[in-house]
Chain A
């Protein structure tokens, strides 16, 4: 819940309502923790500490366990993320075809390291093992778009497409 301006009226946080729906959807289901975390992250774009606590309470699981699961899987994020997620594939095929150079170029371009987010929250950079598009190596993914057969000089234009 958050209060708006100074009128004192409390408006419900729409994200909290969505989270409640996620809880409802998985209520009583076995093995619900991971899908619930995925649902929560879809809503918040990351997993804030308060949300983790809520999830632990809603699923009646130890908070420590929820934290253990969140930190085990690469997909979950505890910090706010950029509007655009740039995933650079460093899998085998991309490696052999110069994936490291691509990664280096983007790092220099965005001035951030692996797993980091630019100050303006525009981009988050991640290296990934393989996105299964080896035929197009080297590849990057920006959000849901795959860009393949890359060379370092193509990157600037690609990144610029994402606001």
Chain B
């Protein structure tokens, strides 16, 4: 494959043709903020946080979707770029609950991080903001669409990794919202609670309800663990506080890895001595079920015994 050399912030870098400016910048170890970008997913170029300045281009292009070109000159933190990023953060904050004190994602939130990095303290622009009802319809995922920044990662992970397509963009413009079909609560949708969407959400819009209140991100140690219930080998994290497991979180989404609810609950049963009860949807309602049922192991003992008796 042919190679392309370009200059980013005065540094020369050579990358394969077809790479994006973001790829090249990251190769140099340069930090460009992103909200909607995920290497695993398709690239909508929507959040405009990763804009850069490239002389000769009319506007500030998004580096995640701009292909490199020979001899290209890029500035990732020029005055215009920083100014624009600040304004974009400010625009997001103007339509976002000022809720960091109690937000589950505090400390692990990209919006919070960038507001800090770019020094956006005061929101000078105020006006109408969304007031959606928080969706607590199910025991696994809490959806607070007031905090959603519409990066669309949840939509893409659900469609492109999971192939479930439970949610999509709905409505338009300022009223755009991520919603299941007919804009119902999640419990009424076909969601399988794999939590892939939770694992990619950059803000506090999607929260694992079983982890809520279990500890701040900086108090909790994450230990990667691979689920061995089936051959898929999905990635999870054991969350430990003071050395004790307090929960299991879906980790990195990857193709071919279903990250199923059963796997997550199973790991929790094994590792978390204080695991909350398991719930399953029956006749449209979530009800507490015995662990054996939740894990699909109902009657397995009887079957094993039966087998043993036959062997005797």
Contacts and interface: CB of A to CB of B under 8 A. Distances in A.
A64 interface: yes
B181 A71 contact: no
A52 B181 CA distance: 9
Given A49-B182, A52-B182, A64 B171 contact: no
B172 A67 contact: no
Contact of A62 (B159, B169, B170, B182): B159
Contacts of A53: 181
B227 interface: no
A71 B170 contact: yes
Interface residues of B, number: 16
Interface string B167-189: 11111100000011111000001
Contact of A72 (B159, B172, B180, B189): B172
A67 B159 contact: no
Contact of B179 (A49, A52, A67): A67
Interface string A71-85: 110000000000000
Q: How many interface residues does chain A have, given as a range? A: 10 to 19
A68 B169 contact: yes
A65 B182 contact: no
Nearest to A73: B172
B165 interface: yes
A63 interface: yes
A150 interface: no
B166 interface: yes
B172 A64 contact: no
A68 B182 contact: no
B262 to A, nearest CB: 23
Nearest to A68: B168
A148 B168 CA distance: 41
Contacts of B183: 67, 71
Given A49-B182, A52-B182, A63-B181, A68 B159 contact: no
Q: Which 6 pairs across A and B sit closest by C-beta, in order of nearness?
A: A62-B165, A63-B181, A68-B168, A64-B168, A67-B181, A64-B181
20 contacts: A49-B182, A53-B181, A62-B166, A63-B181, A63-B182, A63-B190, A64-B165, A64-B167, A64-B179, A64-B189, A67-B168, A67-B180, A67-B181, A67-B182, A68-B169, A71-B171, A71-B172, A71-B183, A72-B170, A72-B172
Interface of A: 49, 52-53, 56, 62-68, 71-72
Given A65-B168, A68-B179, A72-B170, 10 more contacts: A53-B181, A56-B181, A64-B189, A66-B181, A67-B170, A68-B170, A71-B172, A71-B183, A72-B169, A72-B172
